[in-house]
Amino acid sequence: MTTAVVERGPGASLASPGRGRRKIKNGVATTVITLCFLVALVPLVWLLWTVISRGWHVIVKSSWWTGTERGIGYRDPGGGAYHAIIGTLEQVALCTVISVPIGLLVGVYLVEYGRGALSRVTSFMVDILTGIPSIVAALFIYAVFITTLHGQRAAWLVSLALVMLMLPVIVRTTEEMLKLVPNELREASYALGVRKWKTILRVVMPTAFSGLITGIVLGIARVAGETAPLLILVGYASGLNTNLFSGFQGSLPGMINDQFTNLGSGNKAYGLDANGNRVLIHNYAPDRLWGTALTLVIIVMALNLIARLVGRFNKVAN
């Protein structure tokens, strides 16, 4: 591992008694540890293979990206995910617009201003926010906007619940990235008489820029596949609804859930034929199910990849 590693020779004190047994133990440990990694690979490869092999032929059709499910029954062929993609994009966009300024400011506060009690409490609360289950975030929004303010279930409430999940991701990454900016840069700026706010906005944040983008993109990836708030705060619409503030709206996780809950047993849909025998009747709903799953996985994976690539350009890479 390092140059300084002392070769463990047979003359070393521990080596004399039971050397064979120790060697075997060492071999077993190495095997088990390597196996652990291989075991973890199994579900990843298996899951990705399932989603890709069952979903790709659905998403390669152009109608998948332009059509909706309006007027298409659960067992009917065809249909697209356009309405769901638009819904997910809108919900995530509203969530991002709210989360980014707050998240960046909190990160800036913790690194550039934070001292004393407020900073410690903020840091603790961000940790708590990280751990809040999405269903609890959704219940909170429900308790405030629907039971207290008597609002209607709508997609923008989902965005608000997602804000609570996205905020801690952005705050934590911003904090990490700003800490990496060398203090010499700040000092040089102050020495030139530049104000603190301008130093932060024009020196510190641009230096950490790609790191901040990474945090934002990871935040988006974190919430794009979130389903629990959808169940509580908005209904699923199979047609296109671009209005976040009224009516039900489709979304990719919502579409997966909708397909699944109407799937019947497993991925095989059974029905009764004319003679009353149980037969496999259709396979279309499962097709759309895996097509939606693949679409969602592609979007989330792409976001993660973008975050990683942007991170490569980080000027203050650790």
Site residues for another protein, window 135-194 (CB under 8 A)? Answer: 135-137, 139-140, 142-144, 146-148, 164, 167, 171, 179, 183-194
Site membership for another protein, residue 257 (CB under 8 A) = yes
- Is residue 108 close enough to count as binding another protein by CB under 8 A? yes
In this complex, which beta carbon is closest to another protein, that of residue 131 or of residue 276?
A: 131
Nearer to another protein, 241 or 292 (CB): 292
Q: Is 285 exposed, middle or buried (0-12, 13-18, 19+ CB in 10 A)?
A: buried
* CA-wise closest residue to 245 among 141, 137, 147, 152: 152
Which of 68, 96, 207, 241 is the binder for another protein (CB under 8 A)?
207
Query: Is the CB of 155 or the CB of 228 nearer to another protein?
Result: 228
CB closer to another protein, 44 vs 274: 44
Let me know: does 208 contact 178? Beta carbons within 8 Å.
Answer: yes
- The region of 12-20, 57-65, 76-84, 239-247 touching another protein under the rule CB under 8 A is 12-20
Q: Which residues pair with 227 in a beta bridge?
A: none
- Dihedral of the alpha carbons of 23, 24, 25, 31, in degrees to the nearest 10: 110
Could you tell me which stretch among 19-27, 63-71, 89-97, 236-244 binds another protein (CB under 8 A)?
Answer: 19-27
Query: What distance in Å separates the CA atoms of residue 120 and residue 108, rounded to the nearest whole number?
Result: 14
Which region among 47-55, 69-77, 89-97, 242-250 touches another protein (by CB under 8 A)? 47-55
Closest CA to 219 of 154, 130, 137: 130
What is d(CA 17, CA 153) in angstroms, rounded to the nearest whole number? Answer: 72
Site string for another protein, 279-308 (x = CB under 8 A): ----------x---x--xx--xx--x---x
SS3 269: strand
CB of 196 to another protein, least distance (A): 4
Distance separating alpha carbons of residues 241 and 155, to the nearest angstrom: 10
Which residues 224-243 are close enough to bind another protein by CB under 8 A? 224-228, 231-232
**Number of residues binding to another protein, judged by CB under 8 A:** 121
- Write out the binding residues for another protein, residues 54-73 only, by CB under 8 A: none
- Least distance to another protein, CB of residue 36, Å: 3
Span from 62-70, 73-81, 252-260, 270-278 in contact with another protein (CB under 8 A): 252-260
Binding mask 20-39 for another protein (x = CB under 8 A): --xx-xx-xxx-xxxxxx-x
Q: Shortest distance, CB of residue 72 to another protein, whole angstroms?
A: 20
Q: Least distance from C-beta 118 to another protein, angstroms? A: 6
Count the neighbouring beta carbons within 10 Å of the beta carbon of residue 253.
23
What part of residues 77-96 is at the interface with another protein (CB under 8 A)? none
H-state helical runs in the chain: 19-59, 62-66, 82-108, 116-131, 134-141, 155-180, 183-191, 196-199, 205-207, 209-224, 228-233, 252-261, 284-312
Shortest Cβ distance from residue 194 to another protein (Å)?
5
Report whether 77 contacts 283 (CB < 8 A).
no
Alpha helices in 132-237 (DSSP H): 134-141, 155-180, 183-191, 196-199, 205-207, 209-224, 228-233
Structure tokens at 234: 């908005």
| Residue 272 φ then ψ, to 5° | -105, 135
Smallest separation (angstroms) from another protein to the CB of 177:
13
